[in-house]
């Protein structure tokens, strides 16, 4: 029986409960997945860690490989949750095979820049650095200009972007001050890498979106620092 008003075309299609893009899900799942194998390895994969002294000795592989090593289950899971949460809006901005490459490139380059910055700040240090936090903070920085934008990249001068950026850096500074690192108690929090990764992500998403975003994505940011001319 049809309702008295309008036409009844059948039940409303069910909305999927879980809408995160597969790419963001796979990235997040890779962190505890890799740690599963790491925790069972004889060497614990520590040879993949990065130490700032590597730069002065011409060793650069750790800039990338350190992203695949974590200090414990809690460390890996915390980064996985953050990658899924903030990688989702970034992944939705791109489409197709090119979009996959762009998303992963943004993530990896964020991590490399964050780790390199940490190495320069702590030049010559022998303290190892592990974890994908720098890369994840790159996604957080990028997502900061997407959340609340209604499908568009917000300008760097947007009040919400500025407020959220200050909030993230404040949280990061507090975590660095108190040394809170779930799963790796006693280890130093690489807050500098987090800050550098965030800064790279929030600046890079502008030009990257202008070139590679979906055709139907709206870009509402004027050409300012971080955004090339339209």
In a domain, 205, yes or no: yes
Which distant-in-sequence residues (6+ apart) come within 8 Å of 125 by Cβ?
Answer: 51, 52, 53
172-213 pLDDT per residue, tens? 988 877 765 555 554 567 899 999 999 999 999 999 999 998
In a domain, 46, yes or no: yes
In a domain, 11, yes or no: no
Q: Write out the DSSP string of 96-108.
A: HHHHHHHHHHHHH
In a domain, 108, yes or no: yes
Choose between 152 and 8: higher pLDDT. 152
Which has the closest alpha carbon to 33: 63, 67, 77?
77
Domains contained in the chain, number:
1
In a domain, 212, yes or no: yes
In a domain, 99, yes or no: yes
**Residue 161 pLDDT greater than 60, yes or no:** yes
90-131 pLDDT per residue, tens? 999 998 999 999 999 999 999 999 999 999 999 999 999 999
Q: Is there a contact between 214 and 95 (Cβ–Cβ < 8 Å)? A: yes
The residue range of the domain holding 82 is 22-219
Report d(CA 29, CA 169) in Å as an integer: 26
- Work out the angle between the directed axes of helices 73-92 and 133-144 (0-180°, nearest 10): 30
31-76 pLDDT per residue, tens? 999 999 999 988 888 889 999 999 999 999 999 999 999 989 999 9
CATH of the domain at 75: 1.20.1540.10
In a domain, 80, yes or no: yes
In a domain, 140, yes or no: yes
pTM over 0.85: no
């Amino acid at each position: 029986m049809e309702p008295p008003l309008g036409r009844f075309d059948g039940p409303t299609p069910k909305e999927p409960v879980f809408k995160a893009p597969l790419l963001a899900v796979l990235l997040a799942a890779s962190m505890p997945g890799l740690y599963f194998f790491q925790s069972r390895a004889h060497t614990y994969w520590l040879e993949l860690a990065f130490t700032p002294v590597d730069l002065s000795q011409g060793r650069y592989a750790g800039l990338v490989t350190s992203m695949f090593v974590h200090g414990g289950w809690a460390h890996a899971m915390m980064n996985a949750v953050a990658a899924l949460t903030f990688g989702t809006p970034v992944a939705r901005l791109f489409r197709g095979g090119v979009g996959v490459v762009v998303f992963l490139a943004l993530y990896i380059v964020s991590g490399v820049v964050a780790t390199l910055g940490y190495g320069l700040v702590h030049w010559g240090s022998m303290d190892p650095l592990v974890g994908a936090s720098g890369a994840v903070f790159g996604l957080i920085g990028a997502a900061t200009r997407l959340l609340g934008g209604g499908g568009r990249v917000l300008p760097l001068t947007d009040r919400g972007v500025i407020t959220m950026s200050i909030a993230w850096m404040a949280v990061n500074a507090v975590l660095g001050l108190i040394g809170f690192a779930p799963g790796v108690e006693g280890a130093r929090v690489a807050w500098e890498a987090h800050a550098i990764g965030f800064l790279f992500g929030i600046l890079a998403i502008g030009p990257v979106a202008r070139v590679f975003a979906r055709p139907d994505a709206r870009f509402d940011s004027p050409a300012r620092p971080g955004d090339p001319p339209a």
